[in-house]
Amino acid sequence: MVTLKGDKIYLRALEQKDLQFLYELENDTSVWEVSGTVTPYSKDVLQLYLDSAHRDIYDVKQLRLVISSKEHNAVGLIDVFDFEPNHKRAGIGIVVLDKNQRNKGIGAEAITLLCNYLFDVLGLKQVFANILEENAPSLHLFKKLGFLEVGVKKDWVRFKNVYKNEVLLQKINS
C-alpha cells in the first residue's frame, strides 16, 4: 500500500493556509539559484497559483506537494515536473526551507514517499533530478536513495553571471 505518510513527515496538497509559507519560500533569494527564480513573487500572484494548484498532474504535467511535520507545519516543498506519462518519467526537486530542519531525514523520507507514489500509483519507469555539481549534500542524499549519476550538463545554470555545472541523476524502477 502506498502512503504519503512517513515516520517524520507527510506529503499533502497545497492549501490556502500555505500562502505565507509559499511567499517566504519563493522570495527567499538563497533558493533562487536552484529554483530558477529571478524575480520576487507577490502574494496576489501566489494566491492565483494556489487557486489553480488542484489541477491534475496529467493536465499540467507537474505536481507540488507540501512536506509537513507531524505537528502539521509546512517545512518544505517537493515538486514533480516535466511529467511525461507516455514515456513514464518525471523530474523531482525538493527544498526544506528552514536550514535547522535539514540533515534530519526529512528530505530522504519525502523523496522516498514521492518515488513510491510515482512508481506504484502513477506507474512511472523512472524519475530524475538535476542538482548543481557543488551541492554535495543533495548529491549525497539522492545517491544514498538509489539515484545514479548519468551525466553532467556543463555551464548549465547561470546565476549572478556565473555558470555552473548541473548533475543529472536517474532512478529507474526495475
Q: State the CATH number of the domain containing residue 114.
A: 3.40.630.30
User: Which cell numbers in the block locate residue 92?
Assistant: 523531482
Is position 164 within any domain? no
Is residue 37's pLDDT more than 60? yes
Cα–Cα distance measured from residue 51 to residue 117, given in angstroms and rounded to the nearest whole number: 24
Is residue 2's pLDDT more than 70? no
Amino acid 110: pLDDT = 97
Is residue 145's pLDDT more than 80? yes
- List the domain range (segments joined by +) for residue 41: 9-124
Separation in Å, CA 52 to CA 12, 36, 88, 99: 15, 21, 24, 29
Amino acid 133: pLDDT = 96
Is position 136 within any domain? no
DSSP, residue by residue, 96-146: ES-GGGTTSSHHHHHHHHHHHHHHHTS--SEEEEEEETT-HHHHHHHHHTT
User: Residue 96 pairs with which residues in a beta bridge?
Assistant: 76
Is residue 65's pLDDT more than 70? yes
Is position 15 within any domain? yes
- What percent of the chain lies above the pLDDT cut of 70? 99
Is residue 54's pLDDT more than 70? yes
Total domain count, the chain: 1
Amino acid 142: pLDDT = 97
Is position 151 within any domain? no
Is residue 151's pLDDT more than 90? yes
Residues listed for the chain: 174
Averaged confidence pLDDT in the chain:
91
Burial 56-75 (b: 16+ CB within 10 A, else e): eeeeeeebbbbbbeeeeebb
pLDDT tens digits for range 81-107? 999 999 999 999 999 887 787 888 999
Q: How many helices (H) and strands (E) does the chain have?
A: 6, 7
Amino acid 39: pLDDT = 84
User: Which cell numbers in the block locate residue 68?
Assistant: 509537513
Is position 161 within any domain? no
Maximum alpha-carbon separation in the chain = 47
Residue of 11, 137, 6, 4 whose CA lies nearest to 74: 11
Is position 92 within any domain? yes
Residue of 166, 24, 3, 22 whose CA lies nearest to 91: 166
Cα–Cα distance measured from residue 22 to residue 37, given in angstroms and rounded to the nearest whole number: 13
Is position 163 within any domain? no
Cα–Cα distance measured from residue 93 to residue 111, given in angstroms and rounded to the nearest whole number: 9
